[in-house]
């Protein structure tokens, strides 16, 4: 005679068996029709769409997980001046927005407010003031309330609004320079932070080969006049030096190479900020 | 209607203005409602992509930048994205063609399937189709979203793809597994 206990344990094990079979079937169903691997060479250039430049908060969110870096030491405290050259203004605007993220990380409300105002001034110099008036005000309001997440959202929004306004004015080249300026300043700070407390996982954040190629393509597509701009020429050269460092098949980027990227980006960010 | 002016069939990566996701969805849907003749288009597909991403909008920040175009049935396109280890992403694709079925799947730079989950839906009442793919990247680098029109009554099916991100938390990984 089967005891009730034995019966329930049989029912339990057969139930579990059915359950696992169901899960297994589900996994097969999910896999059905979805190749586990693809040959990327089956996608010629014409059928590949370009990468979208990540917004700063995509990267700074990850940096939050790197412990507690000394963000205050990364802040550039000099007063922002407005250059005459529109290309430099665009690069500086991107750089200032990235600086805003660093000031948020450093929780420096006064610096955040200054940078919020700088965004407006620089946007004005390239005729996209209207697109960032509300953002600039929100940055200052949220910094007053030490709403750091809110400030990040506004800086991200300012970057995207400025770019959209420039695209509308058919100033796509300048819009790319805004993104490039932000990426350079972000990379400058990121390499300093990673170098300070080097870990392979921190260095891995610089593994952005397609992004570097994308910026390189953008510069190649710019008008001849912009391509000859001394700052753009310098940046183009820097990208060609950074590309092989982060393009390797190995995910780990050694500390010396981090230092090299930092030295290259730090130098060009200083030039972007330099009004002579 | 701002967004209608911003898209052209030639432009495959685009961006537009309204700030919150709900605002964006509302603007797009109102615009669609006022269209006298309903032609399938990339901007309609984009409106549905944002609508399909609404369930995730509380946790994920969806980018204003999006990709789009049109595809024939069984035609695929690769969309490149720079993803960071430490973030958690949802890619949402949609089309406004009635009775269509679309899919999006994420692969790493070596061509290996890298997503943790994916879904496809056909919405008969809304006359649209959508698909989603979720990834918590194990490595920072280039990833490929492979978009495909699985079936469609149209010769060319407009599509749009958006993505949202959030900081990755350990509990998210457990939940996704």
Q: What are the pLDDT digits (tens) for A51-80?
A: 888 988 898 888 877 777 889 999 987 788
Q: Give the residue from A32, A35, A40, A49 with the most B CB atoms within 10 Å of its CB, the best one to mutate.
A: A49
Is B8 a residue whose pLDDT tops 50?
A: no
Is residue B98 in some structural domain? yes
Q: Give the residue from B10, B58, B64, B82 with the most A CB atoms within 10 Å of its CB, the best one to mutate.
A: B82
Q: How confident is the model at residue A99 (pLDDT cuts 50, 70, 90)?
A: very high
Is residue B8 in some structural domain? no
Is residue B164 in some structural domain? yes
What pLDDT, on a 0 to 100 scale, did the predictor assign at position B107?
Answer: 97
Residue A256 or residue A5, greater confidence: A256
Is A128 a residue whose pLDDT tops 80?
A: yes
Report the chain B residue with the minimal C-alpha distance to residue A55: B63
**Domain region containing B169:** 13-176
Helices A56-63 and A172-196 pack at an angle, to 10 degrees, of: 10
Is residue B159 in some structural domain? yes
CB neighbour class for A195 (10 Å; exposed up to 12, middle 13-18, buried from 19): middle
Residue linked to tokens 């597994």: B177
Is A109 a residue whose pLDDT tops 80?
A: yes
State the pairing for strand pair A48-49/B66-71.
unpaired
Is A98 a residue whose pLDDT tops 80?
A: yes
For A210, the closest of B19, B82, B86 (CB atoms) is B82
Query: Do A65 and B86 make contact, defined as CB atoms within 8 angstroms?
Result: yes
Query: Do A58 and B87 make contact, defined as CB atoms within 8 angstroms?
Result: yes
Q: Is the sign of the CA dihedral A213, A217, A222, A226 positive or negative? A: positive
Q: Read off the tokens for B155.
A: 């010769």
When divided into structural domains, chain B yields a total of 1
Mean pLDDT of chain A: 87
In chain A, DSSP finds a helix count (H) and a strand count (E) of 12, 1
Ranking A15-19, A56-60, A230-234, B135-139 by mean pLDDT, the lowest is A15-19
- Residue A122: which of A137, A112, A132 has the closest Cα? A132
* Tens of pLDDT, residues A184-209: 999 999 999 999 989 888 899 999 99
Report the chain A residue with the minimal C-alpha distance to residue B110: A40
What pLDDT, on a 0 to 100 scale, did the predictor assign at position A13?
Answer: 59
3-class SS of residue B97: coil
Q: How confident is the model at residue A144 (pLDDT cuts 50, 70, 90)?
A: very high
* Tens of pLDDT, residues B106-140: 999 999 999 999 999 988 777 789 999 999 999 99
Is B31 a residue whose pLDDT tops 90?
A: no
Q: How far apart are alpha carbons A207 and B13 in whole angstroms?
A: 23
Q: How confident is the model at residue B154 (pLDDT cuts 50, 70, 90)?
A: very high
Is A181 a residue whose pLDDT tops 60?
A: yes
Q: How many CB atoms lie within 10 A of CB A14?
A: 10
What pLDDT, on a 0 to 100 scale, did the predictor assign at position B170?
Answer: 55
Global pTM value:
0.81
Is residue B6 in some structural domain? no
For A251, the closest of B6, B139, B144 (CB atoms) is B139
3-class SS of residue B151: strand
3-class SS of residue B93: strand
What pLDDT, on a 0 to 100 scale, did the predictor assign at position A3?
Answer: 42
Is B53 a residue whose pLDDT tops 70?
A: yes
The ipTM of this complex is: 0.82
Is B30 a residue whose pLDDT tops 60?
A: no
For residue A154, give every residue at least 6 positions away whose Cβ sits within 8 Å of its Cβ, in sequence order, or none: A116, A135, A138, A139, A142
Partners of A34 on chain B (C-beta within 8 Å) are 103, 105, 113, 118
Is residue B5 in some structural domain? no
* Tens of pLDDT, residues A235-249: 999 999 999 998 766
Is B43 a residue whose pLDDT tops 80?
A: yes
Q: How far apart are alpha carbons B91 and B120 in whole angstroms?
A: 12
The CATH number linked to B41 is: 2.60.120.380
Partners of B85 on chain A (C-beta within 8 Å) are 62, 201, 204-205
């Amino acid at each position: 005679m089967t005891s009730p206990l034995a019966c329930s344990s049989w029912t339990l094990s057969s139930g579990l068996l059915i359950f696992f079979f169901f899960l297994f079937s589900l996994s097969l169903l999910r896999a059905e029709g979805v190749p586990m691997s693809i040959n990327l060479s089956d996608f010629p250039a014409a059928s590949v769409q370009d990468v979208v430049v990540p917004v700063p908060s995509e990267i700074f969110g990850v940096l939050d997980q790197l412990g507690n870096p000394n963000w205050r030491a990364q802040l550039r405290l000099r007063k922002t001046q407005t250059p005459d050259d529109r290309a430099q203004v665009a690069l500086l605007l991107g750089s200032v927005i990235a600086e805003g993220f660093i000031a948020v990380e450093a929780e420096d409300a006064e610096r955040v407010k200054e940078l919020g105002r700088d965004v407006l001034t620089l946007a004005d110099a390239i005729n996209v003031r209207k697109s960032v008036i509300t953002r600039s005000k929100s940055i200052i309001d949220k910094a007053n309330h030490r709403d750091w997440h809110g400030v990040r959202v506004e800086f991200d929004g300012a970057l995207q609004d400025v770019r959209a306004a420039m695209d509308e004015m058919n100033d796509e080249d300048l819009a790319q320079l805004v993104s490039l300026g932000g990426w350079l300043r972000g990379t400058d700070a990121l390499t300093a932070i990673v170098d300070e407390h080097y870990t392979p996982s921190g260095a891995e954040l610089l593994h952005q080969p397609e992004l570097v190629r994308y910026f390189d393509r953008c510069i190649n597509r710019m008008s001849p006049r912009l391509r000859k701009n001394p700052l753009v020429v310098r940046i183009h050269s820097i990208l060609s030096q950074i590309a092989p460092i982060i393009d390797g098949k190995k995910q780990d980027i050694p500390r010396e190479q981090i230092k090299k990227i930092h030295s290259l980006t730090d130098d060009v960010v200083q030039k972007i900020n330099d009004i002579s | 209607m701002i967004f209608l002016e911003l898209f052209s069939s030639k432009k495959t990566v685009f961006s537009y203005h309204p700030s919150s996701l709900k605002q964006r969805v509302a603007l797009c849907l109102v615009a669609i409602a006022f269209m006298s003749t309903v032609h399938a288009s990339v901007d309609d597909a984009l409106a549905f992509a944002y609508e399909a991403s609404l369930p995730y909008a509380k946790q994920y920040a969806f980018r204003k930048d999006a990709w789009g175009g049109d595809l024939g049935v069984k035609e695929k396109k690769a969309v490149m994205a720079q993803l960071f280890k430490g973030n958690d992403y949802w890619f949402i694709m949609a089309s406004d063609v009635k009775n269509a079925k679309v899919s999006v799947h994420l692969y790493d730079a070596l061509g290996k399937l890298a997503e943790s989950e994916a879904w496809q839906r056909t919405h008969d009442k809304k006359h649209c189709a959508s698909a989603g793919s979720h990834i918590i990247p194990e490595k920072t680098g280039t990833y490929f979203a492979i978009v495909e029109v699985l079936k469609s009554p149209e010769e060319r099916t407009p599509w749009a793809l958006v993505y949202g991100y959030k900081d990755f938390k350990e509990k998210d990984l457990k939940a996704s597994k």
